[in-house]
Structure formats: structure tokens, C-alpha cells
A = this chain, B = another copy of it.
Amino acid sequence: MARGINKVILVGNLGDDPEVKYTQSGMAVTTLRLATTSVRKDRDGNTQERTEWHRVKLFGKLGEIAGEYLKKGRQVYIEGSIRYDKFTGQDGQDRYITEIIADEMQMLGGGGERSERAAGGERGYGSSQRGGGAQPGRAPQQKAPVEEGFPDDDIPF
């Protein structure tokens, strides 16, 4: 359920390698810095460029895949939502941060060799998923297919 739509679609390039951390429960939390540039001409015909640097967070399996396959410079498609956070800095001042919480990720432009940090893995390239998470103590191969997000094999495909 939701009251409202909060949707972000980005296509950009990574400014740096992904940063992967893990929660206490073992869930991956990966952060990307993603650049999107727009260009316009001003009144004098001069070209102006402006780049936005997005902070993108990916959780669980999606975060693991991002950490394994993405690296600096790589072009990527991200779909997610905007989250505005407020926290108090060490100086007692309020700080604000805006993040894009990804629920879909897709590497663009071929390539797709693995990053240095990538361990040997069984997963397919370019995979994306919604939710799913690390779920400690529950092996992925025990997952019933229906949990993959397909309501029913009866759905025409």
C-alpha cells in the first residue's frame, strides 16, 4: 500500500567504485555515486553544463550484485525512490542528506567484467530484484520460485 508515487529513474556513470557495507544481520548496503549531466545553451548561445551527483543506496542481494559488478566509470540504470534524511552532526548541527533507494538496477553498455573485489559467484550478470534481502539462516536455493515475484505460473509470459 502506498499513498502517492515516489519514483526516480536514473541513467548515469559511477564517479567511484561502489562502497559495500554490511548490517549486523549480514545484509549488504551498497552506496553508489552516480553522475547525470544536462546541457543547455544560454541566451548568448554558449553551452552550459550541469552535473548532478546522486547518492544511490542498494540493499540486500541487489547491493551485493552492485558491489560485485559495478565499478568507477560504469554506466548504469537505476530505478528507485527519493528519501530525505535528517540527522545531527557531531557539532550538534542538523544535517540533511538525500538518497535514492534503488529497487531496480541494470548495467548498461556491455562490458560487465567483475570488479577486483568480486568473489567467485554463481549469480547471473545484470540481475535485478526487488527486496529479497540476505535473510540470514535461509539459503537462497531454498526459495520457492513464487517468491521471485511471479504470482503464478499461469500468468502468460
The interface on chain A, measured as residues whose beta carbon lies within 8 A of the other chain's beta carbons, has a size of 76
B42 near A145 with CB under 8 A, answer yes
- Stoichiometry (number of copies): 4
Bound complex: CA A12 to CA B6 (Å): 8
B1 near A11 with CB under 8 A, answer no
Known interface pairs A11-B106, A109-B75, A109-B108. Does A153 touch B2 (Cβ–Cβ under 8 Å)? no
Tell me, rounded to whole Å, the shortest Cβ–Cβ distance linking A106 to chain B: 7
Instruction: Flag A53-85 by CB within 8 Å of B: 1 or 0 each.
Output: 110000111000000000000010101011111
Tell me, rounded to whole Å, the shortest Cβ–Cβ distance linking A75 to chain B: 6
A117 close to B (CB within 8 Å): no
B8 near A13 with CB under 8 A, answer no
Closest B residue to A144 by beta carbon equals B43
Instruction: Flag A23-61 by CB within 8 Å of B: 1 or 0 each.
Output: 111010000000111111111110010101110000111
A121 close to B (CB within 8 Å): no
Closest B residue to A129 by beta carbon equals B1
Known interface pairs A4-B35, A84-B52. Does A134 touch B156 (Cβ–Cβ under 8 Å)? no
Sampled A-B contacts (24; CB under 8 Å): A1-B127, A4-B10, A4-B106, A5-B36, A6-B10, A6-B36, A6-B54, A8-B9, A8-B82, A11-B108, A27-B152, A41-B150, A42-B145, A43-B146, A45-B145, A48-B157, A52-B84, A82-B82, A98-B98, A108-B109, A109-B109, A109-B111, A131-B148, A131-B149
